[in-house]
Amino acid sequence: MLYVKGETKYEELVGIKSVPASGAEGGTIEVTELKSKRKQYIDDRVDTPAQDFTYNRTDKKYEAVKKYCDGKVHEFLVYFQDGTGTYIKGTAQTWKNEITAGSAQEATLHIVATDIEDKTAEEVTPMIQGE
């Protein structure tokens, strides 16, 4: 389930069919000096991977998601069955996916993330319950 931060707690936004990776391999910067026999590297910044969620599209769900596609930064929470979650802060976009005969109508929610953080069940519970 995908939640969005409300006034006092995170509230259900939409059921999702897929969850993207919450992290990505960090980059490297080459810092090899001329006298070195081997190339030398240092860590670069960690990237925030694309956050694309697929959900079953109904008019009600699409309008609920579209409400947060206003160019403003919002806080989202992916809630997993084991009680853990992933916190995502960023701006959102949504669109209707292609439709083919005999398939469900789906839409994509794309979050341009400025912060992604995995959370334990102990951290997620108060976020949802408003404690």
Q: Which domain holds residue 19?
A: 2-129
* pLDDT given for residue 90 in this prediction: 96
Kindly report, residue by residue over 55-106, the tens digit of the pLDDT. Answer: 999 999 999 999 999 999 999 999 999 999 999 999 999 999 998 888 889 9
104 in Cβ contact with 96 (< 8 Å): no
pTM summary value: 0.83
Q: Let me know how long the chain is.
A: 131
The residue whose two tokens read 């403003």 is 72
Instruction: Please name the residues in contact with 30: beta carbons below 8 A apart, sequence gap of 6 or more.
Output: 39, 40, 41
CATH number for 31:
4.10.410
Alpha-helical regions (H) of the chain: 59-66, 121-129
Kindly report, residue by residue over 15-70, the tens digit of the pLDDT. Answer: 999 888 888 878 899 999 999 999 999 998 887 888 999 999 999 999 999 999 99
The residue whose two tokens read 């992916």 is 78
Domain count, the chain: 1
